[in-house]
Amino acid sequence: MVKDAAKLAQGTRTVGLGSGSTAAKIVKELASLKDDRMEFVPTSTQIKIEAEKNNLAIADENRIPKIDIVFDGADQIDGRFNMIKGGGGALLREKILISSAKRVVILADESKFVKQFSRPVPIEIHPMARSSASRKLVDAGGKPSLRILDKGYPFITENGNLILDTAFASIKDPRAKEIELKSIPGVMEVGIFTRKADVYYKARNDGTYQKITT
């Protein structure tokens, strides 16, 4: 599946890389294409280091408006191909890349494909808004929980912000909910992604996969 997906980058110039284990796998396959014309924009230090290990050229962030294709994973994908992302904490940077890319490719296990969202939405907030944003998220029908590391320290994003993982009983209109939550002062980004990808790869438990084109 990953090898097939990587082929979609052939002939492109600027490639965006999401974060997490899926992005790490795609980096190795992209390196095998051995195309020196390609340059890469990673969304996290983790993937940047992985790209450097594989001798991929890292592009300046000013190249973001000209990204040809982005490869990323997802935490959940609903029946209308809206997504929840941000489990790794890079939702702000991932949304910047995905919103700017000409093509978006998502790779995910079949367990991530659901009829309706059933997991909390990661919401990146400015530290100053920790209390105020939490109250407003409750007013919006959510149950926010500050993301905490195993040792008890708050999770800090690479942008210096906090994450409130916020559960909702249901999200009937993901786009409307995304807009509503982003209007809260101190909210930097919301882990609801309503831009549909161009291609989804669904990995099945038996080792096969399905390619879905929207």
| Angle of helix 45-53 versus helix 21-32 axis, rounded to 10 | 30
Judge whether 94 counts as a catalytic residue: yes
Beta-ladder partners of 154 = 148
Distances (CA, A) of 159 to 35, 45, 89, 156, 203: 31, 11, 10, 8, 31
Distances (CA, A) of 83 to 40, 91, 123, 162: 23, 11, 14, 21
| DSSP 3-state of 48 | helix
Query: Which residue in the list 29, 94, 178, 189 is annotated as catalytic?
Result: 94
Contact criterion met (CB below 8 Å) for 161 and 128: no
Could you list the active site residues?
94
